[in-house]
Amino acid sequence: MAVVGALFGKVFLAAFNKEIDWLDDAIHCTLHTSLYVPDQDVHDYVDDLSNEHAASGNYATGGVQLAGKTITYTGATNKITMDANDAVWAASTITARVAVVSDRQTGVAGTSPLIAYQQSDADISSNNGEFRVQWNASGLCEITVGAPA
């Protein structure tokens, strides 16, 4: 099973427009079924999402708020790293294929920017057990700042 992660294309527009505050805002991870297909270039706010996993058991609509968020810059590699604790739903029965990270600070879907997603090529399930969205060992997101030309 392959899992790929990507930033939504308009995430930097939202960040530079002060719509995203990684450290202080309510950053959430939601789970979506195979019927949701992320469109990296078009989807920009939560109102573009569809097919979120139904609220049941330990899964609530709107997902979980990420804890342990950090952002760092490493000059030796010119990399900015955004990270957070894995998103976990304990003792849950969930089937999902896409995990989406978004800034839910406004509480309004049309003004809540999308940040990133992870998409599997097959459904991932838990059956009254832990469902975990594990971020890459390098962090949830790593951005390389270009060298001077």
Beta-bridge mates of residue 141: 82
Q: Is residue 110 part of a domain?
A: yes
Q: Is residue 149 part of a domain?
A: no
Which position has the token pair 């700042």? 145
User: Does pLDDT of 147 surpass 80?
Assistant: no
List pLDDT tens digits, range 42-92: 999 999 999 999 998 899 999 999 999 999 999 999 999 999 999 999 999
pLDDT band at 1 (very low <50, low <70, confident <90, very high): confident
Total of domains in the chain:
1
User: Does pLDDT of 121 surpass 90?
Assistant: yes
Cα Rg, the chain, nearest whole Å = 15
Q: Tell me what pLDDT residue 149 has.
A: 73
Beta strands 87-103; 64-65: pairing state: unpaired
Q: Is residue 71 part of a domain?
A: yes
Q: Residue 117: give the domain boundaries.
A: 3-144
Q: Is residue 16 part of a domain?
A: yes
